[in-house]
Amino acid sequence: MKRREFLKYSSLIIPASAVIGTINPFTKKIFAAEKNNKSFSLSVITDQPSKTIHLIEQAIKYSKYGKDNLQFTEYSLRGGHIGDIAYVKSQSLIDYHKATDEFSQSLCESANSLSLPKIMHDPVMLRFSSYQTLLEPDKVNIFRGDTLVSQLSLNKDLEHYRVEGLKGYIDVRVKEKSVKIISATCKHKTCMNMEPISKPGQNLICIPNQISLTVAGKSTSGVDSITF
Amino acid sequence: MYKLSVKKYLMGTTVETTARSTDINYCKKALLAAYKEMQRVEDLLSCQKDSSEISKINRAAGIYPVKVSFETLSILKRAIDYSKKYNGIFDVTIGPLSSLWGFNEDSEIILPENQTILKLIRLVNYKGIIINEQDTSVFLKDNGMSIDLGGIAKGYAIDRGSLVLKKMGINNFILNAGGDIYVSGTKDGEDLWKVGIKHPRNSNELVAEFNLKDYAVATSGDYERFKIIDGKRYHHILDPRTGYPGTLSESSTILATTAEEADATATYIFLLGWKKALSNKDIDFPLLILAADGTIHYNQTFAKKYNLKIIN
């Protein structure tokens, strides 16, 4: 992921797809948090996940945000990326290098300790957030195995996008804010039978190719998990 | 308190765990240990993996007994118990028919010849599993027989993964492996975790939602692996009595103390259909069934104890 893409991605406050849902009482807390100006998110691309987590945990612990009701997710990324920290507060990207508040200064120290920004290979993306604000899903995350290999916008129709898998490939189509698998090299084609997905947390899986597509965003169904 | 979500591709599906913890690195360690345990179970029991003990038993069917681990022997004994309890409507020797239809493998789905089904259905009989507890060996009586633990192995893996998390002190989590779930503790110390049931014919909708604590839920449905042939839906939940996919339900959701039991029972109830399931007083699991005509049926145990709310 290029640095510009990473920062753009982070500033949109797109929650990690693996997080499922929040129920109403929690939603109330979210609004309360916004009112108290305690809402934020941090996305970090790093090749030292344990150290990064420790540093960020410490920074959060002693910040005004505190560590209550925080979300954390982690994805593996593939290939070359620029490692960095993106700090978003009230849906605005903050330049923590220039900001003078204590939390930004802690982030500066963390970035220095991790030698960020720097180019790294096969890093992970960590995401800490006080809430998930994006009600309308606008991205689909594409995984091969456990690795995030691509992201597509649901806001832009795409006739055809190929994802290489374990045994071949699948082709996906984005249309009217939903995504569907339109062809696959697997033999039983079960993934092609699945209905298009458009809501946060919904998945499409091609088992032979070990490819899964998940709509990112805060689950609006009000449940923590779905049985099927 | 952090809410962590870690997702992993395992057992041919996405396994997703959300857990509450004050220490991210420790919780991550526990989640990875749980996934490692689930991977171990898959390697031991999957009939799609040549190296698994189940595959070894299947390859030696009708030829010689195969010595297996105590763990495999135990799960096979429980699988036989489920098969007995459910009068063969759930049968772990469904393997020959599963392979014929091919829903669990990467093969093209074509409607099998009826004669082939009738021939293979004779090989489906859990009574043909000969267990020798003395030397922990398993023998399949007839050549061509094969065990398919697809109906319970995922549930067992979830139970094992959950146990690892609890042993490591992670007590508040929700572990979802391809729709089969174990729920532990609470969401935030007060509120219970809330689970939704996916609508079988509209993936964007939920049928119902309910609360769970320290309990498992599994759903069997005809909509995850299927193919429409000449306007008729053929899916992966095969009825051992007919050799064809069950036709009485669109989905069945069962709550049980373990994911293994929920998994096996969901398959059985799916094939049994709502009329028999709800009129049988021996079936005391909380359950919800979407019948083949789309109507929703559930028992009072589910409605009263788990705050069941029907949505669609």
Complex ipTM = 0.95
Q: How far is B149 from chain A (nearest CA, A)?
A: 18
Q: Which of B126, B154, B143 is nearest to B47 (CA)?
A: B154
For residue A172, the surrounding DSSP H or E stretch is strand A169-175
Q: What angle do CA B215, B4, A12 make, to 5 degrees?
A: 130
* Cβ(A129)–Cβ(A42) below 8 Å: yes
Q: How far apart are CA A181 and CA B276, in angstroms?
A: 38
Largest CA distance in chain B: 60
Dump pLDDT digits (tens) for B158-199: 999 999 999 999 999 999 999 999 999 999 888 999 999 999
Q: Does B310 touch chain A (CB under 8 A)?
A: no
Chain A interface includes B50 (CB < 8 A):
no
Q: Determine whether the interchain pair B109/A68 forms a contact, defined as Cβ–Cβ distance below 8 Å.
A: no
Residues forming beta bridges with residue B197, ordered by sequence position: A227, B208
Q: What pLDDT is attached to residue B82?
A: 97
Cα four-point dihedral sign B60, B61, B63, B64: positive
* Structure confidence at residue A89 (pLDDT): 86
Rounded to an integer, what distance in angstroms lies between the CA atom of residue B129 and that of residue B131?
6
Q: How far apart are CA A204 and CA A211, in angstroms?
A: 8
Instruction: List Cα–Cα distances, B163 to B71, B149, B157, in angstroms.
Output: 15, 20, 10
Closest CA to A215 of A139, A129, A151, A126: A139
pLDDT tens track for A12-23? 443 333 322 222
Neighboring chain A residues of B285 at a CB cutoff of 8 Å: none
Provide the 3-class DSSP secondary structure of residue B210: strand
pLDDT at A9: 61
**CB A187 to CB B108 under 8 A?**
yes
Chain B stretch 208-237, residues whose beta carbon is closer than 8 A to a beta carbon of chain A: 209, 217-219, 221, 223-228
pLDDT for B251 equals 98
Report the percentage of chain B scoring pLDDT > 90: 90
| B105 contacts on A by Cβ (under 8 Å) | 188
pLDDT band at A8 (very low <50, low <70, confident <90, very high): low
Kindly state the percentage of chain A with pLDDT values over 90. 54
Helix pair angle (B70-85, B24-45), 10° resolution: 70
Count the neighbouring beta carbons within 10 Å of the beta carbon of residue B309: 13
- Amino acid symbol at B204: N
Please state, in angstroms and as integers, the Cα–Cα distance from residue A35 to each residue in A28, A29, A90, A183, A222, following that order: 11, 10, 10, 47, 22
Residues in chain A, how many? 228
Q: Buried (b) or exposed (e) across B24-48, using 16+ Cβ within 10 A?
A: beebbebbebbbebbbebbebbbbb
Q: Is B187 on the interface with A (CB under 8 A)?
A: yes
What is the crossing angle of helices B259-272 and B153-167, to 10°? Answer: 150
Q: How confident is the model at residue A207 (pLDDT cuts 50, 70, 90)?
A: confident
Q: Give the distance from residue A128's alpha carbon to the nearest chain B alpha carbon, in angstroms.
A: 9
Q: Which B residues in the span 105-124 are in contact with A, Cβ-Cβ below 8 Å?
A: 105-109
Label the pairing between strands A124-129 and A139-144.
unpaired
- The DSSP secondary-structure symbol of B114 reads H
Of B5, B202, B219, the CB nearest to A227: B219
Closest partner residue to A67 (CB to CB) among B1, B106, B221 is B1
Low-confidence stretches of chain B (pLDDT beneath 50): none
By Cβ distance, the residue of B3, B190, B204 closest to A72 is: B3
Q: B221-262, pLDDT tens digit by residue?
A: 999 899 999 999 999 999 999 999 999 999 999 999 999 999
